[in-house]
Amino acid sequence: MTSATTVTDFAELAPLELAPYIQHTRIEAGLTRSDMEAHAKETIEYGFNAAMVPGSWVHVVADVLRGTGTELASALDFPTVGVTTSVGKAYEAEQLVKAGATQIDIGVQVGYLKSGMYDEFRADIAGVVNAAGVPIKVMLELPLLTEDEKRAAVELSMDAGAAYLKNASSGAIETANPASIRYLVDAARSGVKVKASGSIKSYPQAVELLNAGAVLLGTSAGVAIVTNNDDENVTSY
C-alpha cells in the first residue's frame, strides 16, 4: 500500500496519487468469490488505502490482502441504517475483526437521536468500539438531522470512542460535499478524523473533499478517480 503524503493542496497531486486516500468499495448484491478476489487484487494494484467489502466476504478478501499492508474495511448496520440491535451490532463487529477486518464503518441509531435517547445512541456506538478494538467510523447521515441533532450526534459519537466521523452512509443520503466535510472537521476533537462518502465519482470532486479536510474517501469509483476517467455512468457508493 502506498503511504499517504501530507499536502496543502490536493490539486497538486496527480490522480493516481490520490489512491492512498481512497477506500475502494464494492458492496452491491450478487457478488461472487471471484468478484471479491478481483476487487482485493485491484485494491493492491492501484495502491488504495483499503478494500471496503461486505462482511460476508471479509475472510476471503483478508486472504488476498494478507502481508500487503492494505487495510480491510467492512460496514455493518448498512445499507439500511439503524435497524440492527446494539447487541447484534457489537457481536458482528467482533466477528468481522476475527475474520480479518482492520476497520469498520457503522450505521448509527438516528431514531434514538431523534427520540432524545442520547444514552442509548452513545451506548450503541460504544458497544461496537469496545467489541471490535479497531478504528470505528460512524455514518452520521447529516441530511437527516437538525442542527441540534448534528451537534449531539458528533459529540456523542466521539464520547463513545469513534475514530472517524462520516457525513453519510452513501449517495442515497447525501452526495459528499465540502460543506459537510468542513462541518465535521471543525467539530472533531483532536485525533478524530473525517471520512467522506456518497457519490464520489471524479478526480475534481475527490480533490475538493480532501482539501476540505477529509482524510479518507469511500467510493466504488476509485479506479475512475485515479485514472481521471469522469464517467457519469459509474455507480458510486
Catalytic residue list contains 9: no
Decide: 39 and 62 in contact? Cβ < 8 Å: no
Local structure of residue 4 (DSSP, 8 states): P
Question: Quick one: angle between helices 86-99 and 58-65, nearest 10?
Answer: 30
Per-residue pLDDT at 3: 60
Which cell goes with 1? 500500500
Catalytic residue list contains 105: yes
CATH architecture of 10-226: Alpha-Beta Barrel (3.20)
Strand pairing report for 136-139 and 164-166: parallel
Q: What is the pLDDT of residues 165-192, one digit of tens each?
A: 999 999 999 999 999 999 999 999 999 9
Which cell goes with 220? 466504488
Facing residues of 76 across strands?
Answer: 106
Per-residue pLDDT at 232: 47
Catalytic residue list contains 41: no
Q: Which residue has the cell 460512524?
A: 138
Neighbours of 161 (CB within 10 A): 17
Please identify which of the residues 89, 137, 150, 166 carries the catalytic annotation: 166
Which cell goes with 102? 482492520
Domain boundaries, the chain: 10-226
DSSP H helices, 162-221, are: 178-187, 203-211
Please identify which of the residues 77, 89, 105, 137 carries the catalytic annotation: 105
Decide: 169 and 78 in contact? Cβ < 8 Å: yes
Which cell goes with 101? 477486518
Question: Which residues of the chain fall short of a pLDDT of 70?
Answer: 1-5, 230-237
Using H for helix, E for strand and C for coil, what is the string for 160-174? CCCCEEECCCCCCCC
